[in-house]
């Protein structure tokens, strides 16, 4: 459904204007005839080329390669720790971290195939040296606290990036199918990392949730204006919005034009619960910029 | 209402007459829906009107997909409400807090679909949970995780069939939240189990290729059926 056509067709319904002052019967007749379009007319303004990028490269290829780059970013953090810093990960956590690393290796393989399936050239393999993992601290491989917090940023970015990639790959069933099923695995990984950070019970993270949420104090007081529960301001772009029109920071409480906070009189759905219930995407153009700025070294930056 | 309109305007839509339409949609639609639902002879034919009698999942377009997820979210709400009654099972404080937050998320999903789908929505369905053992945390958490994994699987099957970008985005935004729920619940049952895709074969997870669960919307409805007291009409499968 072309959203603008749907609106245009609502405008001129049998010569009648859609005034609220119409009689109830006329109003119902309008909805009866165009009810479905009216009910579902308000969609997120995620309309592909709406963000004005001139597409010299197929957006599907771009989006898949961006997800692939994220795959390398994630893989190397874990792989390097497992292979080269055997004292970093506690025994109880090792099987999970190894499994995350292995699953990310599989995802890389799947994404390479996916790019090829839509006629693209996969990104050249990115080595560990392509990435800067030391942004929170140089102790990323010797301090479990720093390692996990770095992992959290990278996983959270990965989920948003993959989510923003999905619409670009619509129409390419062979590539979309694996991307869909990689996307929710990333969310499981992200949750596991967050649960592990909470398990350390370090200052400022004692109330960290498995779901992306607003900042909470260690006493549990939530600030629903603070969408960055990683506590690191320099990384806030991971949790922020694409632009002023989309207003899609992670503390957003409207979805598809519907206000979720207090929806239908359910007052126990607070702004934070409303924000938590829906994970946000990042447009590929934004996600690429965030990855380049925060994690990718010169010489490897995505163009 | 004014704030909703402002936020709706933020979606790159600035036409004044559209603002009026949106006011009609949000203020008038659910009332109209309630009235229309009671008038069976006004019910839709396939070519003209789409007014759901409240029990129909029609797969002729994406609305059937969204209603499938709506049914799944309603099931989740009902189960979470049942869980909330089990106050003597010895939950930790964190478990009580998080289980409640999961319940609020599911309620948010369910109410979202009710509003978003308007007159095309299923009605409020009734559920019960025969055969689920509510006597221990472990069995209860296992059931909870199963329902979350079902929701992820249903979402992923729906995502593969969506034809509208906007609906795909909404479903994707819910899918990852359910996956996070499932991960947390699994970690409560057995630490380290949250990434074990090999344990999720009931919903077709592929451990070898590290791909998550996904079932067709039809299969998702079949899996929900034992818990639904209301019988749904499924058309155009």
Structure tokens at A25: 């019967």
Q: What pLDDT is stored for residue A43 in this prediction?
A: 58
Average pLDDT score over residue span B210-215: 98
DSSP string, B99-167: HHHHHHHHHHHHHHHHHHHGGGS-----B--TT---SSHHHHHHHHHHHHHHHHHHHHHHHHH---HHH
Query: How does DSSP classify residue A268?
Result: T
Residues of B with Cβ-Cβ distance to A47 under 8 angstroms: 165-166
pLDDT digits (tens, 9 = 90+) for A271-297: 999 999 999 999 999 999 999 999 999
Lowest mean pLDDT among A286-300, B5-19, B143-157: B5-19
pLDDT digits (tens, 9 = 90+) for A2-13: 544 444 444 443
CA distance B135 to chain A (A): 26
Q: What pLDDT is stored for residue B38 in this prediction?
A: 39
Interface residue of A3, A40, A200 to substitute, partner B, most B CBs within 10 Å: A40
CA distance B163 to chain A (A): 8
Q: How confident is the model at residue B10 (pLDDT cuts 50, 70, 90)?
A: very low
pLDDT digits (tens, 9 = 90+) for A193-218: 999 999 999 999 999 999 999 999 99
Lowest mean pLDDT among A36-40, A266-270, A295-299, B72-76: A36-40
Q: Are B7 and A247 in contact (CB under 8 A)?
A: yes
Burial of A233 (0-12, 13-18, 19+ CB in 10 A): exposed
Residues of A with Cβ-Cβ distance to B95 under 8 angstroms: none
Q: Are A101 and A78 in contact (CB under 8 A)?
A: yes
Task: Report the distance separating Cα B54 and Cα B33, nearest Å.
Answer: 10
Any CB–CB contact under 8 A between B109 and chain A? yes
Interface residue of A103, A181, A219, A246 to substitute, partner B, most B CBs within 10 Å: A181
Residues of A with Cβ-Cβ distance to B29 under 8 angstroms: 31, 35, 38-39
Place of tokens 């989920």: A159
Task: Report the distance separating Cα A116 and Cα A265, nearest Å.
Answer: 49
Any CB–CB contact under 8 A between B196 and chain A? yes
Q: What pLDDT is stored for residue A44 in this prediction?
A: 55
Q: What pLDDT is stored for residue A25 in this prediction?
A: 47
Q: Are A1 and A37 in contact (CB under 8 A)?
A: yes
Q: What pLDDT is stored for residue B50 in this prediction?
A: 72
Cβ of B179 within 8 Å of Cβ of A274? The answer is no
Structure tokens at B5: 């309109």
Whether B174 shows a pLDDT value over 60: the answer reads yes
Whether A39 shows a pLDDT value over 60: the answer reads no
Cβ of A211 within 8 Å of Cβ of B172? The answer is no
Q: What is the pTM of this model?
A: 0.83
Whether B69 shows a pLDDT value over 50: the answer reads yes
Query: How does DSSP classify residue B91?
Result: -
Beta partners for residue B168, in sequence order = none
The minimal CB distance from A32 to the residues B7, B23, B42 is found for B42
Comparison of pLDDT for B7 and A238, the residue scoring more: A238
Average pLDDT score over residue span A260-269: 97
Closest residue on chain A to B155 (Cα): A180
The minimal CB distance from A182 to the residues B29, B208, B211 is found for B211
Q: Are A284 and A66 in contact (CB under 8 A)?
A: yes
Q: What pLDDT is stored for residue B19 in this prediction?
A: 37
Mean pLDDT of chain A: 87
Any CB–CB contact under 8 A between B73 and chain A? no
Q: What pLDDT is stored for residue A167 in this prediction?
A: 98
Mean pLDDT of chain B: 85
Structure tokens at A190: 């992200």
DSSP string, B44-86: PPTTS-----SSEEETTSHHHHHHHHHHHHHHHHHHHHHHHT-
Residues of B with Cβ-Cβ distance to A269 under 8 angstroms: 104, 107-108, 111
Beta partners for residue A254, in sequence order = A259
Q: How confident is the model at residue B110 (pLDDT cuts 50, 70, 90)?
A: very high
**Residue A264 CA: distances (Å) to CA of A216, B16, B29:** 26, 25, 13
Helix (H, G, I), strand (E, B) or coil at A258: strand
Cβ of B194 within 8 Å of Cβ of A11? The answer is no
Cα dihedral A141, A188, B107, B227 sign: negative
Q: Smallest Cα–Cα separation from B176: which of A32, A90, A161, A18? A: A161
Average pLDDT score over residue span A126-151: 97
Q: How confident is the model at residue A261 (pLDDT cuts 50, 70, 90)?
A: very high
Task: Report the distance separating Cα A123 and Cα A287, nearest Å.
Answer: 16
Q: How confident is the model at residue B237 (pLDDT cuts 50, 70, 90)?
A: confident
First to last CA, chain A: 33
**Residue B185 CA: distances (Å) to CA of A28, A168, A195:** 45, 32, 11
Cα dihedral B22, B26, B28, B29 sign: positive
Burial of A247 (0-12, 13-18, 19+ CB in 10 A): middle
Q: What pLDDT is stored for residue A57 in this prediction?
A: 85
Average pLDDT score over residue span A124-135: 97
Q: What pLDDT is stored for residue B18 in this prediction?
A: 35
Whether A190 shows a pLDDT value over 90: the answer reads yes
């Amino acid at each position: 459904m072309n959203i603008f056509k749907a609106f245009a067709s609502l405008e001129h319904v049998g010569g009648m204007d859609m005034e609220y002052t119409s009689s109830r019967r006329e109003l119902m007749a309008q909805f009866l005839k165009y009810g479905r379009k009216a009910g579902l007319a308000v969609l997120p303004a995620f309309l592909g080329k709406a963000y004005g990028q001139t597409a010299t490269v197929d957006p599907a290829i771009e989006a898949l390669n961006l997800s692939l780059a994220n795959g390398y970013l994630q893989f190397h953090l874990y792989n390097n720790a497992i292979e080269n810093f055997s004292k970093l990960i506690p025994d109880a956590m090792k099987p999970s971290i190894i499994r995350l690393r292995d699953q990310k290796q599989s995802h890389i393989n799947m994404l390479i195939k996916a790019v090829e399936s839509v006629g693209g050239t996969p990104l050249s393999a990115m080595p560990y040296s392509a990435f800067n993992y030391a942004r929170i601290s140089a102790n990323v491989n010797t301090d479990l606290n720093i390692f996990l917090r770095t992992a959290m940023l990278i996983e959270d970015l990965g989920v948003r990036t993959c989510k923003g990639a999905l619409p670009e790959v619509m129409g390419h069933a062979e590539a979309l199918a694996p991307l869909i099923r990689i996307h929710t695995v990333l969310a499981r990984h992200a949750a596991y990392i967050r649960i592990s950070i909470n398990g350390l019970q370090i200052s400022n993270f004692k109330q960290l949730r498995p779901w992306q949420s607003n900042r909470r104090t260690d006493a549990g007081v939530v600030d629903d204006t603070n969408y960055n529960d990683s506590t690191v301001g320099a990384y806030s772009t991971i949790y922020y919005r694409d632009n002023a029109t989309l207003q899609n920071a992670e503390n957003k409480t409207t979805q598809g034009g519907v206000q979720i906070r207090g929806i239908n009189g359910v007052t126990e759905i607070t702004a934070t619960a409303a924000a938590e219930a829906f994970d946000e995407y990042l447009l590929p153009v934004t996600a690429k910029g965030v990855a380049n700025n925060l994690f990718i070294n010169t010489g490897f930056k995505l163009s | 209402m004014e704030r909703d309109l402002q936020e709706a305007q933020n979606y790159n839509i600035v036409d004044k007459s559209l603002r009026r339409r949106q006011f009609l949609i949000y203020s008038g639609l659910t009332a109209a829906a309630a009235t229309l639902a009671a008038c069976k002879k006004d019910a839709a034919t396939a070519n003209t009107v789409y007014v759901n009698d409240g029990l129909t999942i029609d797969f002729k377009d994406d609305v059937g997909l969204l209603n499938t997820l709506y049914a799944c979210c309603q099931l989740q709400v009902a189960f979470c409400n049942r869980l909330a009654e089990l106050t003597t099972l010895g939950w930790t404080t964190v478990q009580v807090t998080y289980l409640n937050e999961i319940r609020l998320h599911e309620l948010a999903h369910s109410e979202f679909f009710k509003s978003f789908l308007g007159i095309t929505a299923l009605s409020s369905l009734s559920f019960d949970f025969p055969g689920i053992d509510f006597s221990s945390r472990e069995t209860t958490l296992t059931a909870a995780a199963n329902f979350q994994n079902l929701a992820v699987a249903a979402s992923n099957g729906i995502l593969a069939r969506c034809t509208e970008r906007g609906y795909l985005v909404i479903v994707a935004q819910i899918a990852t939240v359910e996956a996070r729920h499932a991960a947390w619940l699994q970690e409560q049952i057995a630490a380290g189990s949250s990434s074990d895709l090999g344990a999720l074969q009931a919903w077709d997870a592929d451990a070898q290729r590290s791909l998550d669960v996904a079932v067709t919307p039809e299969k998702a409805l079949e899996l929900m059926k034992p818990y639904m007291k209301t019988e749904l009409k499924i058309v155009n499968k």
